Amino acid sequence: MSFKTLRHGLLGGAIAALAMVSAAGTASAAGELNIYNWGNYTNPELIEKFAKAYDVKVTLTDYDSNTTALTKVKAGGHGFDIVVPSANYVPIFVKEGLLLESRPDQMENFKNVDPQWVDVPWDPGRKYTAPWQWGTTGVAVNTSAYAGDPNTAAIFLDPPAELVGKVNVVPEMNDVIGIAIMYVGGEPCTEDKAVLRKVRDTLMAAKPKWQSMDYGMTEKMSNNDVMASVNWNGSTFRIRLNNPKVVYGYPKEGYVVWMDSVAVLKDAKNVENAKLFQNFIMDPENAALISAFARYANGINGSEAYMPEDMKTAPEIVVPAEFKAAGKFLPTCSKEARDLYTAIWTELRK
């Protein structure tokens, strides 16, 4: 859910961060729009198209995690109009009074939003946010190392002999603990200590069998440096294009579904342009541009028609029917739950 820069590889991210602020549009543009989004996540073609269509000068700034975005926006004086938080962070932004009720649900292109992404728990009825991209957190497995069933969290929670010492776990606390909770039979965000004790014991027993806890799997699995990993679907898709032996597994015990959404900030200076942008990205052709770049699905009906050919049938992107039910959104956990998770996480990485 966070460190999206790192989903695409630390080095790639670092290079993208060097070219952090890219501006499009003409000098004589009528207005401005300042977008604050994850690194290596926004298609420059999309920005250029928006800039031309509305004669707006667009400035794009990167962040690397939800917490970074939240802290900076909360501090004020940032000058951003748009932010793209993950699902479990949207309610925090709303509660802290940082988002404008821009009513995407009343916008012209809202009709294109896939009904399953309208009444979402983090923003019921879409009063604040428009869908950007959604994906899943599962496991990526190199079949040359392990040919068994990849559709289980046991790949990293109880690694088969072939994968001992070859498994990576991305150090993404919420995703990893979420999958581990579902693996032992609990619900994400649970405060049930019996469940959490099992989660801790499972993780602690599995850790000696891991190779590393690191980001940058797009490169490392493409290079055969890592044979299996907790990973995001879009990243795994990119790995498979480089290294056809890698498959994506949807843990049948439960895997994480996430979505990042576009919101307008309450202290935005260019509210009208920001609203135009929300409407703009709900157009199927434009939504397809978003997906073509970062390789995640977007939640806009009709965008498939404009998507790159290789994405239309990719099993990483189109969730196979048999695995659909096991996917779960991570809600915003209570402070008590989060404290427990941080304690488990610290113990795990001591």
Partner 1 sequence: MRRAEIRRNWLLATPALILLLAAASGPLLIAVVYSVLEPGDYSGVVWKLSGEGWFRVLFNRDIFDDTVSLADAHLTIFWRSASLSLMTTFFTLLLGFPTAYFIATRPLRQRMLWLFLVTIPFWTNLLIRTFAIMEVIRNEGIANSTLMALGLIDAPIQMLYTDASVLAGMVYVYLPLMVLPLYASLDRLDFRLVEAAYDLYASRIAVLRRVIIPLVKPGIVAGSILVFIPSLGAYVTPRVLGGGKNMMISNLIELQFGEGRNWPLGAALSITLLAFVMVALIFYVRNMAGEQRNG
Q: Which of 22, 43, 224, 301 binds partner 1 (CB under 8 A)?
A: 224
Amino acid identity at 345: W
**134 touches 295 (CB < 8 A):** no
Which one, 306 or 345, has the nearer CB to partner 1? 345
Which one of the spans 156-164, 166-174, 231-239, 287-295 is the region binding partner 1 (CB under 8 A)?
Answer: 166-174
Site for partner 1 contains 161 (CB under 8 A): no
Task: List the interface residues with partner 1, window 79-118 (CB under 8 A).
Answer: 92, 95-96
How many residues are there in the chain?
350
Q: What span, in angstroms and rounded, lies between the C-alpha atoms of 342 and 332?
A: 15
Which one, 205 or 318, has the nearer CB to partner 1? 205
Q: CA distances (Å), 258 to each of 16, 18, 145, 232, 264, in order?
A: 23, 27, 29, 10, 20
Site for partner 1 contains 19 (CB under 8 A): no
Site for partner 1 contains 65 (CB under 8 A): yes
**269 touches 263 (CB < 8 A):** no
Site for partner 1 contains 173 (CB under 8 A): yes
Q: How far is the CB of 344 from partner 1 (least distance, A)?
A: 7
Q: What span, in angstroms and rounded, lies between the C-alpha atoms of 336 and 190?
A: 10
Encoded tokens for 206 = 């599995």
Which one of the spans 134-142, 146-154, 210-218, 285-293 is the region binding partner 1 (CB under 8 A)?
Answer: 210-218
Q: CA distances (Å), 64 to each of 13, 98, 231, 270, in order?
A: 9, 19, 17, 24
Helix (H, G, I), strand (E, B) or coil at 156: helix
Q: Which of 7, 11, 129, 252 binds partner 1 (CB under 8 A)?
A: 11
Encoded tokens for 294 = 């970062």
Q: Which residues contact 143 (CB under 8 A, 6 or more apart)?
A: 150, 245, 246, 247
Site for partner 1 contains 324 (CB under 8 A): no
DSSP assignment string, 23-50: EES-TT-SEEEEEEEETT-S-HHHHHHH
Exposure on the CB side of residue 249, measured as CA atoms within 13 A:
26
Q: How far is the CB of 134 from partner 1 (least distance, A)?
A: 21
Q: Which of 52, 312, 324, 349 binds partner 1 (CB under 8 A)?
A: 349
Site for partner 1 contains 293 (CB under 8 A): no
Site for partner 1 contains 204 (CB under 8 A): no
Task: List the interface residues with partner 1, window 328-347 (CB under 8 A).
Answer: 335, 338-340, 342-347
Q: Which of 12, 171, 284, 315 binds partner 1 (CB under 8 A)?
A: 171
Number of Cβ atoms within 10 Å of the Cβ of 118: 16
Site for partner 1 contains 63 (CB under 8 A): no
Q: How far is the CB of 26 from partner 1 (least distance, A)?
A: 34
Q: Which residues bind partner 1 (CB under 8 A)?
A: 2, 10-11, 14, 65, 67, 70-71, 74, 92, 95-96, 165, 168, 171, 173-174, 193, 196-197, 200, 207, 210-214, 223-225, 335, 338-340, 342-347, 349-350
